[in-house]
Amino acid sequence: MSMLENIMSIKSNIGEDITLVAVSKTKPLEDIKEAYNLGIRDFGENKVQELVYKMDNICYDDIKWHLIGHLQRNKVKYIVGRVYLIHSLDNIGLLEEIEKQYKNKNEIAQVLIQINIGKEESKSGVYVENLEELIEACESCSNVKVKGLMTIIPKGDDESCRKHFKETKKIFDNLKERKFKNLEMKYLSMGMTGDYKIAVEEGANVIRIGQGIFGKRDYNVNA
């Protein structure tokens, strides 16, 4: 299928209120430009170096860049004021560095708290039992605004996927009912190429699709 057919197929399965983030990691600039010309405006990258390269070489003013991969503290300074949304806040040390770097440049960071809902050691994300401590730290910040939650669930069958999405949505809803200074449950980012339909059924309003738009990735390609 062509990229146009892929995008049309995905959009036919989601509502207009769902944000489709095209995960363009490892993909060349030409692919991003093609997706842009087909109406995509939100693009997600995993690595800061690749993200910065693409931001520097694709100068469309209305693109919203999302950092969806693990963010190292020493890389925060490179994205200050440049990304629309950081999906991967998962610890207090990273929070403090984001706050520091954004405050230095008088910018506001919009972030999602990444929850490791399946407690996988191979994945980033805060465990649910440590979430309150991170939220408390977020409340003391002035330059970091939490806009919702993100999760990457363990691989499994449809029933397993649904279970993890339901658990994350329940946390999202519970937080939404509480009053915070720096937290707003606006975005629930969950669901990728293989499971986005289930994620949307369970309440996701942001989905992250790479292969389903661009085709298989070539990890030997460097930006």
**Confidence (pLDDT) at 218:** 66
Q: Which residue has the higher pLDDT, 144 or 59?
A: 144
Please say if the pLDDT value at position 219 is more than 70. no
Strand partners for 150: 114, 189
| Per-residue pLDDT reduced to its tens digit, 67-93 | 999 999 999 999 999 999 999 999 999
| Dist CA 97 CA 72 (whole Å) | 10
| Dist CA 75 CA 69 (whole Å) | 12
Left (φ > 0), alpha (ψ -120 to 50) or beta: where does 217 sit? beta
| Dist CA 13 CA 213 (whole Å) | 14
Of the pLDDT bands very low, low, confident and very high (cuts 50, 70, 90), residue 38 is very high
Please say if the pLDDT value at position 120 is more than 90. no
Q: Which CATH class is domain 3-213?
A: alpha beta
Of the pLDDT bands very low, low, confident and very high (cuts 50, 70, 90), residue 223 is very low
The alpha helices in the chain, defined as continuous H runs, are 3-12, 29-37, 48-57, 92-104, 131-139, 158-176, 196-201, 211-214
pTM, two decimals, is 0.94
Q: Helices 3-12 and 29-37 sit at what angle, rounded to 10 degrees? A: 50
Please give the angle made by the CA atoms of 91, 95 and 98, to the nearest 5 degrees. 140
**Confidence (pLDDT) at 64:** 98
Of the pLDDT bands very low, low, confident and very high (cuts 50, 70, 90), residue 143 is very high
Burial class (CB in 10 A: 0-12, 13-18, 19+), 203: middle
